[in-house]
Amino acid sequence: MPEDARAIANFLLSLAWSRGLEVSHLQLQKILFFAHAWHLGKYGEPLIGQPFEAWQYGPVVRVVYDQLKRFRSDSVREKLTKIDVQTGGVIEARASFSEEKTQFLIDLFEYYHSFHPYNLVDLTHERDGPWDKVWRKAGDGAVAGMAIPNESIKLWILRAGGNGVRPL
């Protein structure tokens, strides 16, 4: 079952902070995208329940953007929250992952965190990749929500390995 993008983001932020690392909003969005893409390729199912949208600097999950936009290009310094449907209160977005999924996310983070955020943008902008297809199509007409289809992401990561970036 797909997870809330905010919970995945919080896991990645906790991992970074536990290692004394910083993560920018742009970098986090791209790492989320690669985690989602590799999960689609490796397990055949989405990691993240919310859709990725094609924005100028690559794929974005809007609920993550909405909470982190205030950090601009600075490092993210707070966890993401969500509404608790039982109480109506605001709580930290959390998920419980299997040992396999936890290791998958750790391995993926360790690899992609080493890339400069703009290199990650370049990787997601690959010609005929899922972001590029939606972005170019929008230039010719409307694309509802600029949503990037999961099937397009999966085929891209399986075909090209994310622009030659080594698969997990």
Average pLDDT over residues 135-159: 88
Residues 87, 32: Cα–Cα separation, whole Å: 28
pLDDT at 159: 86
pLDDT at 145: 84
Average pLDDT over residues 144-153: 92
pLDDT digits (tens, 9 = 90+) for 47-59: 999 999 999 999 9
- Mean pLDDT in the chain? 92
Name the strand (E) or helix (H) holding 54: strand 52-55
Report how far apart, in Å, the C-alpha atoms of 123 and of each of 1, 20, 137, 154 are: 27, 25, 19, 15
Tokens of 29: 């969005």
Among 61, 51, 78, residue whose Cα is nearest residue 26 = 61
pLDDT tier at 89 (50, 70, 90 boundaries)? Answer: very high
Predicted structure pTM score: 0.93
Inter-residue contact 162 to 144 (CB < 8 Å)? no
Residues 74, 96: Cα–Cα separation, whole Å: 28
pLDDT at 6 over 80: yes
**Cα atoms in the 13 Å half-sphere on the side-chain side of 7:** 15
